[in-house]
């Protein structure tokens, strides 16, 4: 793995937080990261990049993660993509919290403190990486 | 799945615009086609659609083939920058993060799939709000 300088720590934290939230629904999940320039090297449609980024590669998708803006935005981007993977595999919304008839489906994003969180606006907020750990205690997540 | 369903509810009644066994990708929409509120095209091969709630919102897109197809590959570009790539067995859908968009950005969704009788090609161009 030949990553831009200074991104190893971001990748390490991101990978661990994502694993903690998704290991139950995407048990075979493996994330790889490559520089954007390498990702598009053979793509004639792409204009020359103004700045380097990191690209996250999963079993079925790859996408830039805005690594220069820090771990939180990268975490929210990866979690949002993987939420789609999980829902596609499960065939139903995930994560799904609360009692039948009053289900909440939080989505990843940045909260008011610019932290990557699973959120339902005005109702629920949990940092990415802590979702299952927090909710398993209360039996609130499938 | 939620996003796909939300888009499917809008695009579902339509038919679709994809091209079977074309030598090159056929794009629908164009630089003057707004993504918001919705850009959707249909023919007998399926539907391709994108929608955006308004400025600052994500562009949510999906491909809904009307023929049996598998081995989907798709790339999404914003102003010539690749922002997403998928290789998967089922019809692709996704959303372009608002961080990758600006008002007036040209969004391009282009891909292909294997279908009986040849390759299914699809492409959509629209401009973000």
pLDDT tens figures, B2-27 = 343 333 323 332 333 566 656 567 78
Residue range A27-54, pLDDT digits in tens: 999 999 999 999 999 999 998 877 889 9
Chain A nearest-CA residue for B3: A84
Mean pLDDT of B23-52: 91
Is the backbone of residue A128 left (phi > 0), alpha (psi -120 to 50) or beta?
beta
| Nearest CA distance, B118 vs chain A (angstrom) | 22
Contact list in A for residue B74 (CB cut-off 8 A) is: none
- The sign one gets for the Cα dihedral A50, A53, A57, A61 is negative
Measured between CA atoms, the residue of chain B closest to residue A41 is B82
Given a contact cutoff of 8 angstroms between Cβ atoms, the answer to whether A78 and A14 are in contact is yes
Alpha helices (runs of H) in chain B, residue ranges in sequence order: 2-11
Enter the pTM of the model: 0.87
Q: Residue B87 in contact with residue A60, Cβ under 8 Å?
A: yes
Q: Establish if B24 touches chain A: CB-CB under 8 angstroms.
A: no
Tell which residue, B77, B39, B83, B45, has the closest CA to residue B64. B45
Strand B93-96's sheet: what is its strand order?
Answer: B38-43, B46-51, B59-65, B93-96
**Which of the pair, B117 or A2, is modelled with greater confidence?**
B117
Q: Are B95 and B86 in contact (CB under 8 A)?
A: no
Question: Using CB atoms and an 8 Å cut-off, which of residues 44-83 of chain B contact chain A?
Answer: 75, 77, 79-83
Give the count of beta carbons closer than 10 Å to the beta carbon of residue B105.
20
Interface test with A, best of B3, B83, B97 (most A CBs within 10 A): B97
Confidence of residue B110 (pLDDT cuts 50, 70, 90): very high
Per the structure block, which two tokens stand in for B88?
């998967």
Q: Which residues of B touch A46 (CB under 8 A)?
A: 77, 80-82
- Backbone φ and ψ for A90, nearest 5 degrees, come out as -80, -25
Q: Quick one: pLDDT at residue A80?
A: 97
Instruction: Name the region of B56 (left: φ>0; alpha: ψ -120 to 50; beta: rest).
Output: left
Residues 6+ apart with CB under 8 A from A9: none
The pLDDT tens digits of the residues spanning B29-38 come to: 999 999 999 9
- Please identify every stretch of chain A with a pLDDT value under 70, giving residue numbers as ranges: 1-5, 138-142
Residue A60 is predicted with a pLDDT of: 96
Quote ipTM for the complex.
Answer: 0.89
pLDDT at B96: 96
The pLDDT, as a whole number, for residue B13 is 29
């Amino acid at each position: 793995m030949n990553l831009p300088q200074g991104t190893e720590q971001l990748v390490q934290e991101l990978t661990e937080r994502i694993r903690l939230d998704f290991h139950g629904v995407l048990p075979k999940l493996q994330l790889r990261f490559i520089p954007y320039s390498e990702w598009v090297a053979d793509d004639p449609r792409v204009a020359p990049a103004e700045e380097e980024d990191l690209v996250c590669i999963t079993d079925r998708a790859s996408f830039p993660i805005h690594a220069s803006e820090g771990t939180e935005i990268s975490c929210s981007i990866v979690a949002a993509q993987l939420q789609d993977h999980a829902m596609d595999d499960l065939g139903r919304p995930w994560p799904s919290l609360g009692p039948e008839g009053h289900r909440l489906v939080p989505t990843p994003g940045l909260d008011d403190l610019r932290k990557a969180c699973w959120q339902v606006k005005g109702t629920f907020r949990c940092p990415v990486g802590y979702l299952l750990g927090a909710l398993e205690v209360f039996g609130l997540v499938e | 799945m939620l996003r796909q369903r939300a888009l499917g509810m809008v695009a579902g009644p339509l038919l679709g615009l994809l091209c079977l066994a074309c030598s090159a990708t056929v794009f629908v929409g164009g630089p003057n086609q707004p993504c918001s509120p919705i850009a959707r095209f249909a023919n007998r091969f399926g539907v391709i659609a994108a929608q955006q709630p308004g400025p600052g919102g994500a562009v949510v897109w999906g491909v809904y083939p009307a023929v049996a197809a598998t081995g989907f590959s798709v790339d999404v570009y914003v102003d010539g920058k690749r922002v997403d790539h998928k290789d998967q067995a089922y019809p692709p859908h996704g959303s372009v993060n608002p961080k990758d968009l600006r008002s007036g950005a040209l969004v391009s969704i282009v891909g292909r799939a294997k279908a009986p009788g040849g390759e299914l090609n699809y492409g959509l161009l629209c401009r973000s709000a």
